Amino acid sequence: MRVLLVNTYDRRGGAARAALRLHKGLRRAGVDSLFAVQCREGDTEGVIGRGGYPGRLLSSLRARLDRLPLKRGAEGRGEGFSPGWLPLGGLPRLVRRVRPDLVHLHWVTDGLLRVEELADLDVPVVWSLHDMWPFTGGCHYSGDCARYRGRCGRCPLLGSDAERDLSRVGHDRKRIACRGVGDGRLVVVGLSRWIAGEAAGSTLFGEVPIRNLPNPIDTDRFCPESRAEARRRLGLGEEGPLLLFGAMNPAEDARKGAALLEEALRHLERSSRHRPALLIVGDTGGRPFPRFDWPLAWRGHVGGDEILRLLYAAADVTVVPSLQENLSNMIMESLACGTPVVAFDTGGNPDMIEHRANGYLARPRESADLATGIGWVLESVGSGGLSGCARRVVEERFSEAVVIPRYIELYRQVLAGEVAALPGEPK
């Protein structure tokens, strides 16, 4: 069986890291997996795409060109919106050249895929939902808007009052493109139960077969480490509690909840004897974070899994205050390393966090409850039960040994035409 995985990047962003892990796991299981990207930054075997400076330049140019429709009028806002209109990405030509049995799409925006090209792939397509973009008119996360359950239009993200705006046009284009794929040749994978349900309730995927399958994780690579040893190797102080927070551009992306974390720490300062140091991983976009006096360390961008593993092991608790999250790599990685997680009870977080067993699920958008969760974990973490449960949940539900065979079986069912008989409802 030859499978072609497709993602815009191989290293940049959570979807890239998740898709790359799936690619590696499939190859270890004996599947002939290839991984096509627009910009190749690593040297993993089986990854196809332009690398080095030419690859980065072309990818940056295509991403900018794909956003050109957002520069007009009220649609000049559009942060977190991808039109997906740019032609000549080359995927249909690549499919004809490498001749896979099946194409598995992942995160394919930033100019990689023009949605009309779906009908030209000529092989069955599996599409993993790393965000909501595949079934919306262009937004990656809809927030409080549910217009994707109709035909989009009047998009709040674009600041548009027009029914036929860029989101309506994008939704109509995707509807026609998905119909062009043909009956039984498109199967959707919701990485979390939440996004599988949202896709099933959408206009675009309401009649498409949907399966709920998570990302796999290598539990040999992400595993527990002595907290003292991890802090020593990272050059962190060995005394006092440490709270880990991270995201790409957390200071600029309001969805990641940095402002709510700041509020939670103020609550914690007033109501708890704990004052953990805050360790931030990721690009803060130059914005001071937090905006008040608090013990703080900042690691910036972290490139390797080994450093990430040590960061999780060094922390007493990882906090993921996102307002909308699909299946967070950070939550899964932290739990695999035995570090409990505090997050809001939203999106795919309940798939991984068992409330007061391996972490804490706070009421959505309530910073005071987020602070309660942080304090509860810091009080409980010494018992060892939280850490053991955190690791056990990942081993039982998300390890490669569990997840990779499920993907191989899905591919087999798709190629045998056995999935199409069960449309609509997430399984």
pTM: 0.92
Angle between helix 400-416 and 14-28 (nearest 10): 80
Topology of 2-216+400-416 in CATH? Rossmann fold (3.40.50)
Domain segments of the chain as ranges: 2-216+400-416, 227-397
Distance CA 286, CA 251 (A): 8
pLDDT beyond 80 at 425: no
Distance CA 73, CA 426 (A): 39
Model confidence over 123-155: pLDDT tens digits? 999 999 999 999 999 999 999 999 999 999 999
Model confidence over 215-251: pLDDT tens digits? 999 999 999 999 999 999 998 877 788 999 987 776 6
Query: The domain 227-397 belongs to what CATH superfamily?
Result: Glycogen Phosphorylase B; (3.40.50.2000)
Residue 240: per-residue pLDDT = 84
Distances (CA, A) of 357 to 79, 214, 377, 397: 37, 21, 10, 15
pLDDT beyond 90 at 346: yes
Distance of CA 196 to the CA centre of its chain: 14
Model confidence over 76-134: pLDDT tens digits? 566 899 999 999 889 999 999 999 999 999 999 999 999 999 989 989 999 999 999 99
Cβ-contact 358, 398 below 8 angstroms: no
Q: What share of the chain in percent tops pLDDT 70?
A: 89
Distance CA 141, CA 118 (A): 22
Strand partners, 272: none
DSSP3 helix / strand / coil % (the chain, rounded to 5): 40, 15, 45
Fold: same for 2-216+400-416 and 227-397: yes
User: What sign has the CA pseudo-torsion 222, 228, 229, 235?
Assistant: positive
Tokens of 347: 């999106």
Tokens 């045998």 -> residue: 416
Encode burial over 301-324: b for 16+ CB neighbours within 10 A, e otherwise: eeeeeeebbbbbbbbbbbbbbbbb
Distances (CA, A) of 26 to 120, 246, 332: 25, 28, 19
Distances (CA, A) of 170 to 82, 164, 287, 336: 9, 10, 33, 38
